[in-house]
Chain A
Amino acid sequence: MSDTLTYVYAVARDVDDAALDGLRGIGGRPVRVVTVGRLAAVVSDADRAEFEERALEERLEDLEWLAATARAHHHVVDTLGRGHLLAPLALATVYFDDDRVRAVLTDSRETFDGVLDRLAGRAEFGLKVYARRGGRGATAGRERAASGAEYLRRRRQALREGDTALDEAREAAAEVDTAVTALAVASRTHRLQDATLSGTSEPMVLNRAHLVPVERAGELAALVDTLAEHPRIRVEVTGPWVPYSFAQTQQAQQDQP
Protein backbone atom coordinates (compact mmCIF):
# COMPACT_ATOMS: atom_id res chain seq x y z
CA MET A 1 0.00 0.00 0.00
CA SER A 2 1.31 3.42 -0.91
CA ASP A 3 2.43 5.84 1.75
CA THR A 4 1.15 8.87 -0.13
CA LEU A 5 -2.43 9.88 -0.56
CA THR A 6 -4.19 12.31 -2.83
CA TYR A 7 -5.32 15.40 -0.94
CA VAL A 8 -8.17 17.26 -2.61
CA TYR A 9 -8.54 21.02 -2.12
CA ALA A 10 -11.42 21.85 -4.40
CA VAL A 11 -13.34 21.00 -7.53
CA ALA A 12 -13.15 23.54 -10.32
CA ARG A 13 -14.39 24.03 -13.83
CA ASP A 14 -12.12 24.61 -16.85
CA VAL A 15 -8.82 24.93 -15.05
CA ASP A 16 -6.12 26.73 -16.94
CA ASP A 17 -2.93 24.65 -16.61
CA ALA A 18 -0.73 27.73 -16.55
CA ALA A 19 -2.39 28.74 -13.30
CA LEU A 20 -0.89 25.66 -11.62
CA ASP A 21 2.70 26.64 -12.41
CA GLY A 22 4.69 26.90 -9.21
CA LEU A 23 1.61 26.51 -7.04
CA ARG A 24 2.43 24.61 -3.86
CA GLY A 25 0.08 23.13 -1.29
CA ILE A 26 0.27 21.11 1.93
CA GLY A 27 3.82 20.20 2.80
CA GLY A 28 5.10 22.25 -0.11
CA ARG A 29 3.91 19.63 -2.59
CA PRO A 30 3.15 20.75 -6.15
CA VAL A 31 -0.50 21.18 -7.01
CA ARG A 32 -2.02 19.48 -10.03
CA VAL A 33 -5.44 18.50 -11.36
CA VAL A 34 -7.36 15.33 -11.98
CA THR A 35 -9.90 15.98 -14.69
CA VAL A 36 -13.13 14.43 -15.86
CA GLY A 37 -14.59 16.49 -18.69
CA ARG A 38 -14.70 20.11 -17.60
CA LEU A 39 -14.50 19.23 -13.93
CA ALA A 40 -11.08 19.35 -12.34
CA ALA A 41 -10.22 18.17 -8.86
CA VAL A 42 -7.38 20.30 -7.52
CA VAL A 43 -5.02 17.94 -5.70
CA SER A 44 -1.57 17.26 -4.36
CA ASP A 45 0.20 14.31 -2.75
CA ALA A 46 0.09 14.05 1.02
CA ASP A 47 1.77 11.77 3.53
CA ARG A 48 -0.46 8.96 4.64
CA ALA A 49 0.94 9.10 8.17
CA GLU A 50 -0.23 12.66 8.57
CA PHE A 51 -3.84 12.00 7.63
CA GLU A 52 -4.72 8.64 9.10
CA GLU A 53 -7.80 9.07 11.25
CA ARG A 54 -6.18 8.66 14.66
CA ALA A 55 -3.22 10.83 13.83
CA LEU A 56 -5.58 13.45 12.49
CA GLU A 57 -7.59 13.74 15.68
CA GLU A 58 -4.44 14.51 17.62
CA ARG A 59 -3.29 17.00 15.06
CA LEU A 60 -6.54 18.88 15.27
CA GLU A 61 -5.63 19.70 18.83
CA ASP A 62 -2.27 20.98 17.70
CA LEU A 63 -3.03 24.54 16.79
CA GLU A 64 0.28 25.00 15.04
CA TRP A 65 -0.31 22.10 12.69
CA LEU A 66 -3.87 23.17 12.12
CA ALA A 67 -2.87 26.75 11.37
CA ALA A 68 -0.15 25.70 8.93
CA THR A 69 -2.39 23.22 7.15
CA ALA A 70 -5.29 25.64 6.99
CA ARG A 71 -3.10 28.35 5.49
CA ALA A 72 -1.53 26.00 2.95
CA HIS A 73 -4.96 24.76 1.97
CA HIS A 74 -6.32 28.28 1.72
CA HIS A 75 -3.36 29.43 -0.36
CA VAL A 76 -4.24 26.91 -3.05
CA VAL A 77 -7.97 27.62 -2.98
CA ASP A 78 -7.55 31.37 -2.87
CA THR A 79 -4.91 31.54 -5.63
CA LEU A 80 -6.90 29.45 -8.07
CA GLY A 81 -10.16 31.01 -6.99
CA ARG A 82 -9.18 34.39 -8.37
CA GLY A 83 -9.56 33.32 -11.97
CA HIS A 84 -11.59 30.13 -11.77
CA LEU A 85 -14.98 28.97 -10.67
CA LEU A 86 -14.21 26.77 -7.72
CA ALA A 87 -16.05 24.71 -5.09
CA PRO A 88 -13.78 24.31 -2.06
CA LEU A 89 -13.79 21.01 -0.20
CA ALA A 90 -13.79 20.59 3.56
CA LEU A 91 -10.33 20.46 5.10
CA ALA A 92 -8.43 17.16 4.91
CA THR A 93 -10.46 15.33 2.30
CA VAL A 94 -8.09 12.61 1.14
CA TYR A 95 -8.29 9.64 -1.18
CA PHE A 96 -6.00 6.68 -1.71
CA ASP A 97 -4.89 7.83 -5.15
CA ASP A 98 -5.76 9.82 -8.25
CA ASP A 99 -7.85 7.00 -9.70
CA ARG A 100 -10.11 7.15 -6.68
CA VAL A 101 -10.47 10.89 -7.15
CA ARG A 102 -11.35 10.37 -10.77
CA ALA A 103 -14.03 7.90 -9.74
CA VAL A 104 -15.50 10.31 -7.18
CA LEU A 105 -15.58 13.09 -9.76
CA THR A 106 -17.39 10.86 -12.21
CA ASP A 107 -19.88 9.56 -9.67
CA SER A 108 -20.64 12.97 -8.18
CA ARG A 109 -20.56 14.93 -11.38
CA GLU A 110 -24.08 16.30 -11.05
CA THR A 111 -23.50 17.33 -7.45
CA PHE A 112 -20.40 19.28 -8.34
CA ASP A 113 -22.03 20.90 -11.33
CA GLY A 114 -24.92 21.97 -9.15
CA VAL A 115 -22.65 23.55 -6.56
CA LEU A 116 -20.52 25.28 -9.18
CA ASP A 117 -23.55 26.69 -10.98
CA ARG A 118 -24.80 28.15 -7.72
CA LEU A 119 -21.46 29.78 -6.91
CA ALA A 120 -20.82 31.27 -10.34
CA GLY A 121 -20.49 35.05 -10.28
CA ARG A 122 -20.70 35.21 -6.51
CA ALA A 123 -18.27 35.79 -3.67
CA GLU A 124 -18.48 35.24 0.06
CA PHE A 125 -18.15 38.08 2.52
CA GLY A 126 -17.90 37.71 6.27
CA LEU A 127 -19.81 40.11 8.52
CA LYS A 128 -18.45 40.34 12.03
CA VAL A 129 -19.84 42.71 14.63
CA TYR A 130 -18.39 43.56 18.05
CA ALA A 131 -19.94 45.48 20.92
CA ARG A 132 -17.97 48.61 21.73
CA ARG A 133 -16.70 48.55 25.27
CA GLY A 134 -18.59 50.70 27.73
CA GLY A 135 -16.15 50.05 30.53
CA ARG A 136 -16.14 52.20 33.60
CA GLY A 137 -17.12 55.06 31.28
CA ALA A 138 -19.37 57.47 33.09
CA THR A 139 -18.08 56.59 36.50
CA ALA A 140 -14.41 57.12 35.75
CA GLY A 141 -13.05 60.38 37.09
CA ARG A 142 -16.07 61.01 39.19
CA GLU A 143 -15.69 61.83 42.82
CA ARG A 144 -15.54 59.08 45.33
CA ALA A 145 -18.96 57.93 46.49
CA ALA A 146 -20.03 59.73 49.65
CA SER A 147 -21.16 56.56 51.37
CA GLY A 148 -21.04 52.81 51.07
CA ALA A 149 -24.70 52.76 50.14
CA GLU A 150 -24.14 55.27 47.39
CA TYR A 151 -21.25 53.22 46.04
CA LEU A 152 -23.51 50.20 45.79
CA ARG A 153 -26.15 52.26 44.03
CA ARG A 154 -23.66 53.46 41.46
CA ARG A 155 -22.34 49.97 40.83
CA ARG A 156 -25.85 48.65 40.38
CA GLN A 157 -26.52 51.33 37.82
CA ALA A 158 -23.25 50.61 36.00
CA LEU A 159 -23.93 46.90 35.80
CA ARG A 160 -27.41 47.52 34.47
CA GLU A 161 -26.06 49.86 31.83
CA GLY A 162 -23.47 47.29 30.83
CA ASP A 163 -26.12 44.68 30.23
CA THR A 164 -28.20 47.15 28.29
CA ALA A 165 -25.26 48.13 26.14
CA LEU A 166 -24.72 44.52 25.11
CA ASP A 167 -28.39 44.09 24.24
CA GLU A 168 -28.34 47.27 22.21
CA ALA A 169 -25.25 46.10 20.38
CA ARG A 170 -26.97 42.85 19.50
CA GLU A 171 -29.97 44.72 18.19
CA ALA A 172 -27.81 47.02 16.11
CA ALA A 173 -25.89 44.05 14.76
CA ALA A 174 -29.12 42.35 13.74
CA GLU A 175 -30.18 45.46 11.84
CA VAL A 176 -26.90 45.61 9.96
CA ASP A 177 -27.16 41.94 9.15
CA THR A 178 -30.66 42.38 7.78
CA ALA A 179 -29.39 45.04 5.40
CA VAL A 180 -26.52 42.85 4.19
CA THR A 181 -28.76 39.81 3.89
CA ALA A 182 -30.85 41.82 1.46
CA LEU A 183 -27.84 42.17 -0.85
CA ALA A 184 -26.98 38.49 -0.65
CA VAL A 185 -28.40 35.43 -2.38
CA ALA A 186 -27.58 33.20 0.59
CA SER A 187 -26.48 33.75 4.17
CA ARG A 188 -25.17 31.58 6.91
CA THR A 189 -24.51 31.95 10.62
CA HIS A 190 -21.15 30.98 12.07
CA ARG A 191 -20.45 30.39 15.72
CA LEU A 192 -19.27 33.47 17.62
CA GLN A 193 -15.49 33.42 17.64
CA ASP A 194 -13.47 32.40 20.63
CA ALA A 195 -11.66 35.41 22.05
CA THR A 196 -8.48 33.43 22.84
CA LEU A 197 -8.11 32.67 19.16
CA SER A 198 -9.12 36.02 17.78
CA GLY A 199 -7.33 38.03 20.42
CA THR A 200 -9.99 40.71 20.80
CA SER A 201 -11.31 42.07 24.06
CA GLU A 202 -14.60 43.40 22.72
CA PRO A 203 -17.43 40.85 22.86
CA MET A 204 -18.44 39.52 19.47
CA VAL A 205 -22.16 39.70 18.90
CA LEU A 206 -22.49 38.54 15.31
CA ASN A 207 -20.60 36.28 12.91
CA ARG A 208 -22.27 35.73 9.56
CA ALA A 209 -21.26 34.77 6.04
CA HIS A 210 -23.03 36.16 3.00
CA LEU A 211 -22.94 35.00 -0.62
CA VAL A 212 -23.09 38.17 -2.64
CA PRO A 213 -23.17 38.65 -6.42
CA VAL A 214 -19.84 40.18 -7.36
CA GLU A 215 -21.52 43.21 -8.92
CA ARG A 216 -23.17 44.12 -5.61
CA ALA A 217 -19.95 44.12 -3.60
CA GLY A 218 -19.70 47.88 -4.00
CA GLU A 219 -23.05 48.34 -2.27
CA LEU A 220 -21.77 46.27 0.62
CA ALA A 221 -18.66 48.43 0.91
CA ALA A 222 -20.77 51.58 0.91
CA LEU A 223 -23.05 50.21 3.60
CA VAL A 224 -20.15 49.33 5.87
CA ASP A 225 -18.63 52.78 5.41
CA THR A 226 -21.75 54.41 6.83
CA LEU A 227 -21.32 52.37 10.01
CA ALA A 228 -17.78 53.45 10.84
CA GLU A 229 -18.88 55.83 13.62
CA HIS A 230 -21.67 53.75 15.12
CA PRO A 231 -21.68 54.33 18.89
CA ARG A 232 -22.65 50.83 19.93
CA ILE A 233 -20.94 48.50 17.48
CA ARG A 234 -17.78 47.93 15.50
CA VAL A 235 -18.42 46.32 12.13
CA GLU A 236 -15.80 44.29 10.29
CA VAL A 237 -16.22 42.78 6.85
CA THR A 238 -13.87 40.11 5.53
CA GLY A 239 -13.54 38.93 1.97
CA PRO A 240 -14.02 38.42 -0.84
CA TRP A 241 -13.61 34.74 -0.06
CA VAL A 242 -13.92 31.74 -2.31
CA PRO A 243 -17.33 30.60 -1.01
CA TYR A 244 -16.30 28.03 1.60
CA SER A 245 -19.45 28.54 3.58
CA PHE A 246 -21.82 27.97 0.69
CA ALA A 247 -20.40 24.89 -0.97
CA GLN A 248 -22.40 22.35 1.00
CA THR A 249 -24.79 20.55 -1.26
CA GLN A 250 -27.73 20.83 1.12
CA GLN A 251 -27.41 24.60 0.98
CA ALA A 252 -29.18 24.49 -2.36
CA GLN A 253 -32.52 24.16 -0.63
CA GLN A 254 -31.78 26.91 1.85
CA ASP A 255 -30.77 29.64 -0.57
CA GLN A 256 -32.86 32.73 -0.53
CA PRO A 257 -34.98 33.36 -3.63
Chain B
Amino acid sequence: MAERASGDGTGPRIEIDKDEVRRDLMKLVLTIVELLRQLMERQAIRRVEQGDLTEQEEEDLGTSLMLLAEAMDELTEQFGLTPADLNLDLGPLGPLLPRDR
Protein backbone atom coordinates (compact mmCIF):
# COMPACT_ATOMS: atom_id res chain seq x y z
CA MET B 1 0.00 0.00 0.00
CA ALA B 2 1.27 3.48 -0.71
CA GLU B 3 0.16 6.87 0.46
CA ARG B 4 0.05 9.71 -1.92
CA ALA B 5 -1.10 13.26 -1.51
CA SER B 6 -4.10 14.03 -3.62
CA GLY B 7 -3.82 16.99 -5.95
CA ASP B 8 -7.36 18.17 -5.39
CA GLY B 9 -6.97 18.95 -1.70
CA THR B 10 -9.00 16.03 -0.32
CA GLY B 11 -6.04 14.73 1.69
CA PRO B 12 -3.70 11.72 1.29
CA ARG B 13 -5.15 8.70 -0.46
CA ILE B 14 -4.20 5.16 0.24
CA GLU B 15 -3.60 3.03 -2.80
CA ILE B 16 -4.46 -0.59 -2.33
CA ASP B 17 -2.29 -2.94 -4.26
CA LYS B 18 -5.02 -4.55 -6.31
CA ASP B 19 -2.82 -7.32 -7.54
CA GLU B 20 -1.94 -8.33 -4.01
CA VAL B 21 -5.56 -8.46 -2.92
CA ARG B 22 -6.51 -10.45 -5.98
CA ARG B 23 -3.69 -12.88 -5.39
CA ASP B 24 -4.59 -13.43 -1.73
CA LEU B 25 -8.21 -13.98 -2.62
CA MET B 26 -7.32 -16.42 -5.39
CA LYS B 27 -5.05 -18.28 -3.00
CA LEU B 28 -7.94 -18.79 -0.61
CA VAL B 29 -10.36 -19.79 -3.35
CA LEU B 30 -7.89 -22.14 -5.01
CA THR B 31 -7.06 -23.75 -1.68
CA ILE B 32 -10.69 -24.63 -1.18
CA VAL B 33 -11.13 -25.82 -4.74
CA GLU B 34 -8.00 -27.94 -4.44
CA LEU B 35 -9.32 -29.49 -1.24
CA LEU B 36 -12.55 -30.43 -2.97
CA ARG B 37 -10.70 -31.74 -5.99
CA GLN B 38 -8.57 -34.03 -3.84
CA LEU B 39 -11.56 -35.25 -1.87
CA MET B 40 -13.47 -36.00 -5.05
CA GLU B 41 -10.50 -37.76 -6.53
CA ARG B 42 -10.04 -39.99 -3.53
CA GLN B 43 -13.73 -40.74 -3.43
CA ALA B 44 -13.75 -41.62 -7.13
CA ILE B 45 -10.78 -43.95 -6.71
CA ARG B 46 -12.45 -45.62 -3.76
CA ARG B 47 -15.62 -46.23 -5.76
CA VAL B 48 -13.64 -47.66 -8.65
CA GLU B 49 -11.91 -50.02 -6.24
CA GLN B 50 -15.25 -51.08 -4.82
CA GLY B 51 -16.59 -51.79 -8.31
CA ASP B 52 -19.44 -49.32 -7.80
CA LEU B 53 -19.23 -47.70 -11.20
CA THR B 54 -19.99 -48.72 -14.76
CA GLU B 55 -17.19 -48.36 -17.29
CA GLN B 56 -18.81 -45.28 -18.72
CA GLU B 57 -19.21 -43.67 -15.33
CA GLU B 58 -15.60 -44.41 -14.53
CA GLU B 59 -14.51 -42.89 -17.82
CA ASP B 60 -16.60 -39.75 -17.42
CA LEU B 61 -15.55 -39.24 -13.83
CA GLY B 62 -11.88 -39.73 -14.68
CA THR B 63 -12.03 -37.30 -17.57
CA SER B 64 -13.74 -34.63 -15.47
CA LEU B 65 -11.18 -34.97 -12.73
CA MET B 66 -8.34 -34.86 -15.20
CA LEU B 67 -9.66 -31.66 -16.76
CA LEU B 68 -10.16 -30.16 -13.33
CA ALA B 69 -6.58 -31.00 -12.34
CA GLU B 70 -5.30 -29.36 -15.51
CA ALA B 71 -7.38 -26.26 -14.89
CA MET B 72 -6.01 -26.06 -11.36
CA ASP B 73 -2.46 -26.32 -12.66
CA GLU B 74 -3.08 -23.48 -15.08
CA LEU B 75 -4.71 -21.24 -12.50
CA THR B 76 -2.07 -21.74 -9.85
CA GLU B 77 0.64 -21.08 -12.38
CA GLN B 78 -1.14 -17.97 -13.56
CA PHE B 79 -1.17 -16.53 -10.07
CA GLY B 80 2.38 -17.54 -9.31
CA LEU B 81 1.38 -20.04 -6.64
CA THR B 82 2.98 -23.35 -5.78
CA PRO B 83 1.22 -26.45 -4.47
CA ALA B 84 2.70 -25.71 -1.05
CA ASP B 85 1.01 -22.29 -1.06
CA LEU B 86 -2.38 -23.93 -1.27
CA ASN B 87 -2.51 -25.18 2.27
CA LEU B 88 -3.70 -24.20 5.72
CA ASP B 89 -2.37 -25.78 8.86
CA LEU B 90 -5.00 -26.14 11.56
CA GLY B 91 -2.70 -27.34 14.38
CA PRO B 92 -4.11 -30.42 16.07
CA LEU B 93 -6.64 -30.73 13.27
CA GLY B 94 -3.73 -31.30 10.93
CA PRO B 95 -3.06 -29.55 7.68
CA LEU B 96 -6.08 -28.79 5.54
CA LEU B 97 -4.60 -30.77 2.70
CA PRO B 98 -2.41 -33.84 3.04
CA ARG B 99 1.15 -32.69 2.46
CA ASP B 100 2.00 -35.25 -0.18
CA ARG B 101 -0.37 -34.94 -3.09
Interface on A for B, CB 8 Å cutoff? Answer: 131, 133-136, 144-145, 147-152, 155-156, 158-159, 162, 165-166, 194-196, 201-203
Output the least CB separation between A206 and chain B (Å).
Answer: 15
Residues of A within 8 A of B49 (CB): 156
* Chain A: CB-nearest residue to B65: A151
Name 20 interchain pairs, CB-CB below 8 A, sorted by A. A134-B100, A135-B101, A136-B101, A145-B62, A147-B62, A148-B58, A148-B63, A148-B66, A151-B62, A151-B66, A152-B44, A152-B61, A152-B65, A155-B41, A155-B45, A155-B65, A156-B45, A156-B49, A162-B100, A194-B89
Q: Indicate whether A202 sits within 8 Å of B99 (C-beta atoms), given known contacts A147-B59, A149-B59.
A: yes
Report the bound CA distance from A122 to B41 in whole Å: 52
Interface on B for A, CB 8 Å cutoff? Answer: 41-42, 44-45, 48-49, 55, 58-66, 83-84, 87, 89, 91, 95, 98-101
Output the least CB separation between A201 and chain B (Å).
Answer: 5
A203 touches B99 (CB 8 A): yes
Report the bound CA distance from A165 to B29 in whole Å: 29
B89 touches A196 (CB 8 A): yes
Residues of A within 8 A of B66 (CB): 144-145, 148, 151
Residues of A within 8 A of B63 (CB): 147-148, 151
Output the least CB separation between A91 and chain B (Å).
Answer: 20
A149 touches B62 (CB 8 A): yes
